[in-house]
Structure 1
Amino acid sequence: MTCWATLELLSTHYRFVPNYQCNKQKNLRAVIGGLDFEISLHVAAILGVYKIPQLTYGSFAPEDAGQSQSTPFYRMVPNEAHQYTGIVELLLHFGWTPEFSEPCTGQEKLDSLPSSGFEMSMTGHSYSIYNAVYVVAHALHDAMRVSFNNSAGEEVSFSEKRELEAGFDITNLVTFPNNSFIRMKVGWMKLDAPPGKEFSINEDKMVWHRSFHQVPPLSQCNKNCPSGTRRKKKEGEKFCCYDCAPCSEGKISYQKDMNDCVGCSEDHYPNRNQTQCIPKSISFLTLEEPLGMSLAFGSVFCSLLTILSLAIFLKHQDTPIVRANNRDLTYVLFLSLLLCFLCPLIFLSRPDRVTCLVRQMAFGLVFTVTVSCVLAKTITVVLAFMATKPGSRMRKWVGKRLAIAIVLTCTIIQAGICTVWLGTSPPFPHFDKHSVRGEIILECNEGSAAMFYCVLGYMGFLAIVSFVVAFLARKLPASFNEAKFITFSMLLFCSVWISFVPVYLSSKGKHMVAVEIFSILVSSAGLLGSIFAPKCYIIILRPDLNDKQQLIKKK
């Protein structure tokens, strides 16, 4: 029926002779209609042969838009897809999330318009009439491809898809108590606006129904999820209805109703409410904080005690108690202990490439010298006693050369371990962004943990050897025998560093550095107090015991 009616428009009046016209005619220039898209396409397929444009005022589904490109089919209303977008923008603007859904159609039923609204009278022979119709229709196509103003003064233009390039007005239907109403424009949906500016609405111009008390109506199946939470789908409910779940640890949501929480970058962390990311502070152990000040005070105080003890020994260097225990080795032990107490000050500076290399190497070498001096003292006591026996060959081993050889040998071995460490995987400054919440820990990465524990293990080996030798020599009747004091000092030294390992491994950030500094101070103070405190006591408070007669009597 559609095809018949269309061909009838192209025939002589009251005579169905398609493609041929004679006698006086009212020739077809354009066709307006129809409301149904399928019928309109059938009409357009025939009219397209004659280049006769078809103008439709119906609202068609967006998925059908591409079907009209091969026909002279002009849509006099904007694409319905933009209407859907505008409705969604309205819902988002007012936060309306209704729980129910109902089928709806955007195609309104308009009154049929006459299909002969642009008829034009033409006269002449049949072939010339047909040609004239073609020329006029073709001219109308050209006119439709450019913009023009309609009778209302509005600019009209069509896109490449022959769709009217126009937007939508957002109108407010204002009702009155007498059930009358007016329409008021409160916004628009423009298709040619810049991205993000297509939708605009002025709420100040809006007049809500009196039952809403001039506030936007609430249409939500649940409350908005605040910042710091995310949407969590309700099982069996519509997609727009949801619960609110807190963001997982380390993530935030900075807007309401976010579908997912987002993680902070490595140098930021979530605030307490998990609504924003806060920059992390760079943290390392310094002299400005109480913990650093306490450790620095302990380091300086113990250094002063060491210097005071050394001064006492230098002042009384010719007394029997000082001369009886290898003065040169004693002075070397004093200096190495002083450096041990000063080592923590390197650990309290900002970690960089130089300090990371120096701190562990200095610690390892200085402590090795200290423990090797104690070992040399212990071996000297044992050999000295054995040399006093008649016919003993140990006399040639007793002396300064043996002590120096022990200290140098032990130190060179430790220096070799440190050299291998530096050559393979040296320590380096490292930013730890994950161990402590809210902080970036600036620390010295050991590079090779195995080499670090090799340095500690070697010092522990020397300490154990010193402990065993001193323990075996504790009852020797030598004058001013230091074996008992060395035994206690080595027992304390080993206890400190054995307990250091698990505590160090379980610590994080600046507390790891504090544990190492504390272990250095305690073990060094144990050596100073155990070996030199008794001698200083005799020199200062019991000078009567510091003479040769007492040595002979004691022996």
Structure 2
Amino acid sequence: MDGDYVIGGVFSIHNYIHTVKHNYTTMPEPLRCTGSIDTRELRLSRAMVFAVEEINNSSKLLPGIRLGYQIHDSCASVVMAVHVAFQLSNGLDPVFYTGDNCSQSGTVMAVVGESGSTPSISMSRAIGPFNIPQVSHFATCACLSNKQEYPSFFRTIPSDQFQADALAKLVKHFGWTWVGAVRSDSDYGNNGMASFLDAAHKEGICVEYSESFYRTHPRTRIQRVADVIRRSTAMVVVAFAASGDMRILLEELSREPSPPRQWIGSEAWVSDPEMLRFTLCTGAIGFGIQQSVIPGLRDFLLDLPPTKVANSPVLTEFWEHAFNCRLGKTTDERLCDGTEDITTLQSPYTDTSQLRITNMVYKAVYAIAHAIHNAVCQKTKSTTHCDKLTRIESKQILAQLKKVNFSQNGYDVSFDANGDPVAKYELVNWQKSKSGSIELVTVGLYDASLPVGQEFHINKNLTWVEDSTQVPSSVCSDSCPPGTRKVLQKGKPICCYDCIPCPEGEISNATDSPDCFPCPKEFWPNAERNICFPKPVEFLSYNEVLGIILAAFSVGGACLAVITAAVFFRHRTSPVVRANNSELSFLLLFSLTLCFLCALTFIGTPSEWSCMLRHTAFGITFVLCISCVLGKTIVVLMAFKATLPGSNVMKWFGPPQQRMTVVSFTFIQVLICTIWLVLRPPFPMKNLTIYKERIILECALGSAVGFWAVLGYIGLLAVFCFVLAVLARKLPDNFNEAKLITFSMLIFCAVWITFIPAYVSSPGKFTVAVEIFAILASSFGLILCIFAPKCFIILFKPEKNTKKHLMNKNQY
């Protein structure tokens, strides 16, 4: 249709271009489209006509000016799109018109289209140098935002960069980290998928495979892509493809049963009503352009009287294909008789329930009209005057398009510096209706203009693959629970990993933790290794069986020593008691009582005082004990010497000397202990090295030299006493204790010799138990060997407790 200013339109009404083999002997045939009509694209082209006519009937926009249009079919071909672009640039009129109702120039003011990104790129490069603005309604490739390469390109549909980011966030939102990817082998698919893969990588999503295909590829190529999808382990498939390409792939997948897949679709196919016939994609989700309402459009689309259909080859082809008849042709096929009712036709052409891309065409036409209006119209106080004779060039329209900002039917239209609109999408879901058919349901919104983290909003329940209500899982490896860490599988993406339990002493308290970290020194992991608990503190306690047994023996030994002392005191005048140096015996029993009781200081919670007391008390009492035994041994030897004629040795080792000997030997040990306590005393400490999982509360020696000096001094006295007792063991007198002392010292030395390796090798609280056992064993050895025979005579053999019997040469 001619007019004062002409707008071009390019749509992919057919899907294929007719190809011929040139023989180079005749002129090549003109380019022509073939295949069936894409009725949605036909609706888009008719929506452009509707918008132009609506503008021509408007009194506010371009009053008194009539717009014309030239609409071409590019058949989704780059070759045809470039051919059409040159036609629109050069003009088609074979002669010049001189009437008023003709366009000012042979060229169009601007072009609406194309529907695909690749043809749009080719067109923009062809008409860009002539400054002819191009406003696309469906070319979404992010590459077209580059104003250095495409300075005259605008679009009313958002760039795929926004959609790719939104798809990656959608996949991340549902916890899918292992997806497959298929794309159209075109600028739309390749650039869109590249943007998605980049955004997915930032979100930590891994792609198992990425396959490309195109509708014109051989079937073997399509089959290979379908087989990759069937064999894959990824449950989710992201498809960034044009509607025509996706139809070919889904038809191939429909031929052979395929495992269920959750499809995530780009806007080009997931919101196309014609694609809803593929039931294998039930539950598919993706982004679509917002739905819209265009008043009067449906009536315009259905207003196809026979004369209008007959005058348009495209409408004629559509009518004949839709009703399976022929218009005005004498053929064997059924003739169209005029009774066909287009309102009963189920076709994307007549379906205006979900106008999405149609509104993009509508806004593109209005954007161009507003740019022309701003270039040729002058607004006064009361009216707007437009001069249709004003000669304008396309570059003026280009400049005005950059400034366009208006609202039409409630839809805002403006372009940023890259020629892009504000990105807004609806989240759509393929859901099965009550009738069993699949319908497109809007379940959420995405607005790229909102702050980060607030762009995405789901407001309805979704249906998933196989009509499930549960979100499907699509991961290469299940999440690693707390207590484990991720270890990447060699040669596989980062989403494929093994879950390795944390090493001993380390935990991880988060899902999918890449590392385990050690617990603090005084903490230890639980069995699941996800929490650090305080280590249990362990020491020899009165509450445990071992502590109770040792305490019982300790108290029992002390009681035995007291009872023995009581027996000796009760019979202190008896020959047995008097003959065995009663003073040293009582002092020995006293020291043994202290030896038994000092074992109690080793039981219970170690403290500063108990640590210092237990070692010093043990050292001093044992030296006191050994000193008494040593004194008794010397007395035996001296007594034997005193029986020899002319010997007066006993006067040199009487009671005062015996006391001095005991005090002197004991004082040396007191001195050693004092130096030890002053310089480096024992102290309580938490031993974290013996057991990793628990703390041993023990007394550190402070100075190992001090400890072994105390033990060494005790051992020295014991050995000295043992030697003297051995020397005196064969003395003939009945009161001779040397044999008993020898045996007791033998037990004493044996206990403490075996104590040393046991003490060094025993872990934790058993070190203390070994020390207590050595104290008790040696103490019981002394009291039983030295005093038990005497008590037996006193209590059970009183007839032997006489001086006459003691002086008898027979052994008692």
- Per the TM superposition, whether the score is higher than 0.5 is yes
Q: Cα distance, 1:304 vs. partner? A: 1.0
* Structure 1 counterpart SS, 2:440: strand
**Residues 91-490 of structure 1 aligned to structure 2 (within 5 Å):** 91-92=175-176, 100-102=208-210, 117=368, 119=371, 121=374, 152=410, 170-174=427-431, 180-186=438-444, 205-210=461-466, 213-254=468-509, 257-392=512-647, 394-436=649-691, 438-490=693-745
Kindly tell me: are residues 525 and 217 of structure 1, through their superposed partners in 2, closer, same or farther at Cα, counting changes over 3 Å?
A: same
CA distance in 2, matches of 1:393, 1:155: 134
State the TM-score, normalized to the length of structure 1.
Answer: 0.74
CA contact (8 A) 1:286 1:350 kept: yes
Q: For residues 178-200 of structure 1, what are the alpha-carbon distances to aligned partners after superposition, in whole Å with 9 as ceiling and x for unaligned? A: 764314224768886687x8876
CA distance in 1, matches of 2:723, 2:450: 92
**Residues 502-541 of structure 1 aligned to structure 2 (within 5 Å):** 502-541=757-796
CA contact (8 A) 2:592 2:779 kept: yes
CA distance in 1, matches of 2:542, 2:516: 40
Greater shift in the superposed pair: 463-472 or 95-104: 95-104
Kindly tell me: are residues 535 and 164 of structure 1, through their superposed partners in 2, closer, same or farther at Cα, counting changes over 3 Å?
A: farther
CA distance in 1, matches of 2:597, 2:581: 25
CA contact (8 A) 1:329 1:377 kept: yes
Q: Cα distance, 1:213 vs. partner? A: 4.0
Kindly tell me: are residues 154 and 136 of structure 1, through their superposed partners in 2, closer, same or farther at Cα, counting changes over 3 Å?
A: closer
* Corresponding letter in the other structure for 1:397: W
State the TM-score, normalized to the length of structure 2.
Answer: 0.52
Q: Cα distance, 1:529 vs. partner? A: 0.5
* Structure 2 counterpart SS, 1:444: strand
Residue 19 of structure 1 corresponds to: none
Kindly tell me: are residues 500 and 186 of structure 1, through their superposed partners in 2, closer, same or farther at Cα, counting changes over 3 Å?
A: farther
Greater shift in the superposed pair: 212-221 or 352-361: 212-221
* Structure 1 counterpart SS, 2:209: coil
CA contact (8 A) 1:324 1:479 kept: no
**Residues 487-498 of structure 1 aligned to structure 2 (within 5 Å):** 487-498=742-753
* Corresponding letter in the other structure for 1:102: S
Q: For residues 104-130 of structure 1, what are the alpha-carbon distances to aligned partners after superposition, in whole Å with 9 as ceiling and x for unaligned? A: 899988999869745364699xxxxxx
Q: Cα distance, 1:175 vs. partner? A: 5.3
* Structure 1 counterpart SS, 2:723: helix
Kindly tell me: are residues 351 and 540 of structure 1, through their superposed partners in 2, closer, same or farther at Cα, counting changes over 3 Å?
A: same
Q: For residues 378-419 of structure 1, what are the alpha-carbon distances to aligned partners after superposition, in whole Å with 9 as ceiling and x for unaligned? A: 122222322333344633421123322222222222222222
CA contact (8 A) 2:179 2:206 kept: no
CA contact (8 A) 1:493 1:523 kept: yes
* Corresponding letter in the other structure for 2:440: I
CA distance in 2, matches of 1:517, 1:86: 70
Q: Cα distance, 1:170 vs. partner? A: 4.5
Q: Are 1:88 and 2:172 an aligned pair?
A: yes
Q: For residues 58-81 of structure 1, what are the alpha-carbon distances to aligned partners after superposition, in whole Å with 9 as ceiling and x for unaligned? A: 5648xx99x99xxxx999664965
* Corresponding letter in the other structure for 1:249: E
* Corresponding letter in the other structure for 1:319: S
CA contact (8 A) 2:178 2:475 kept: no
CA distance in 2, matches of 1:262, 1:95: 31
CA distance in 1, matches of 2:797, 2:163: 110
CA distance in 1, matches of 2:753, 2:240: 85
Residue 51 of structure 1 corresponds to: none
CA contact (8 A) 2:537 2:696 kept: yes
CA distance in 1, matches of 2:456, 2:807: 108
Greater shift in the superposed pair: 425-434 or 290-299: 425-434
Q: What runs of 5+ residues in structure 1 fail to find an aligned partner?
A: 1-13, 15-23, 47-55, 125-131
RMSD, aligned α-carbons: 5.4
CA distance in 2, matches of 1:422, 1:263: 37
CA contact (8 A) 2:484 2:500 kept: yes
Q: Cα distance, 1:236 vs. partner? A: 3.5
Greater shift in the superposed pair: 445-454 or 186-195: 186-195
**Residues 26-41 of structure 1 aligned to structure 2 (within 5 Å):** none
CA distance in 1, matches of 2:447, 2:764: 57
Q: How many residues align?
A: 519
CA distance in 2, matches of 1:343, 1:155: 96
Q: For residues 425-465 of structure 1, what are the alpha-carbon distances to aligned partners after superposition, in whole Å with 9 as ceiling and x for unaligned? A: 22222223453465332222222333222222221121111
Kindly tell me: are residues 313 and 172 of structure 1, through their superposed partners in 2, closer, same or farther at Cα, counting changes over 3 Å?
A: same
Q: What runs of 5+ residues in structure 2 fail to find an aligned partner?
A: 1-90, 92-103, 129-137, 181-204, 213-237, 243-267, 269-356, 379-395
CA distance in 2, matches of 1:409, 1:425: 24
CA contact (8 A) 2:206 2:493 kept: no
% of aligned pairs identical? Answer: 37
* Corresponding letter in the other structure for 2:461: K
CA distance in 2, matches of 1:415, 1:315: 32
Kindly tell me: are residues 225 and 301 of structure 1, through their superposed partners in 2, closer, same or farther at Cα, counting changes over 3 Å?
A: same
CA distance in 2, matches of 1:240, 1:414: 71
* Structure 1 counterpart SS, 2:174: helix
Greater shift in the superposed pair: 392-401 or 94-103: 94-103
* Structure 2 counterpart SS, 1:100: strand
CA contact (8 A) 1:471 1:487 kept: yes
Q: For residues 327-376 of structure 1, what are the alpha-carbon distances to aligned partners after superposition, in whole Å with 9 as ceiling and x for unaligned? A: 22222111111111111222222212221221111111111111121112
Kindly tell me: are residues 149 and 469 of structure 1, through their superposed partners in 2, closer, same or farther at Cα, counting changes over 3 Å?
A: farther
Kindly tell me: are residues 448 and 277 of structure 1, through their superposed partners in 2, closer, same or farther at Cα, counting changes over 3 Å?
A: same
CA contact (8 A) 1:372 1:407 kept: yes
